[in-house]
Amino acid sequence: MPVISVDWWKGNDRAQRQELVSELTACVSRIAGCPEEAVTVIVRDVDPDHWGKGGVLADEILSGAAPAAPSPQDTGGQP
Ligand SMILES: O=C(O)C/C=C/C(=O)C(=O)O
């Protein structure tokens, strides 16, 4: 009975959560070879001011007060 947990920033609406649950369920069901009814998806909306990335709170990244972390393309794949 696979359980998928998604933590993402608060702000997605019900339709987006439904699409996420539907697509993840189908994907895991196919790969694991289990019925969709066996798949559980837990979605947690996290306030960006409760989300730390690169040592800063994400609301500061969103507002432009702190720089976003470099993407893997910018660092040659290194963290
Ligand atoms: O972790 C990041 O770099 C950005 C995360 C974004 C989200 O969780 C989101 O857009 O919902």
CA of 68 to the centre of ligand 1 (A): 11
Residue 25: count other Cβ atoms within 10 Å of its Cβ: 19
3-state SS, residue 70: coil
Q: Is residue 44 part of a domain?
A: yes
Give a yes or no: residue 52 inside a domain: yes
In a domain, 10, yes or no: yes
Task: Output the ligand 1 site: residues, CB below 6 A.
Answer: 8-9, 53
Query: CATH number of the domain that 42 lies in?
Result: 3.30.429.10
pLDDT digits (tens, 9 = 90+) for 22-77: 999 999 999 999 999 999 999 999 999 999 999 999 999 999 999 887 766 676 66
Q: Is the pTM of this model over 0.90?
A: no
Is residue 75 one of the residues assigned to a domain?
A: no
As for how many domains the chain has, the answer is 1
The answer to whether position 16 is within a domain reads yes
17 pLDDT above the threshold of 80: yes
Task: List beta partners, residue 56.
Answer: 53
ipTM attached to this prediction: 0.86
Between the CA of 46 and the centroid of ligand 1 the distance, in Å, is 10
- Host domain of residue 14: 3-63
19 domain residue, yes or no: yes
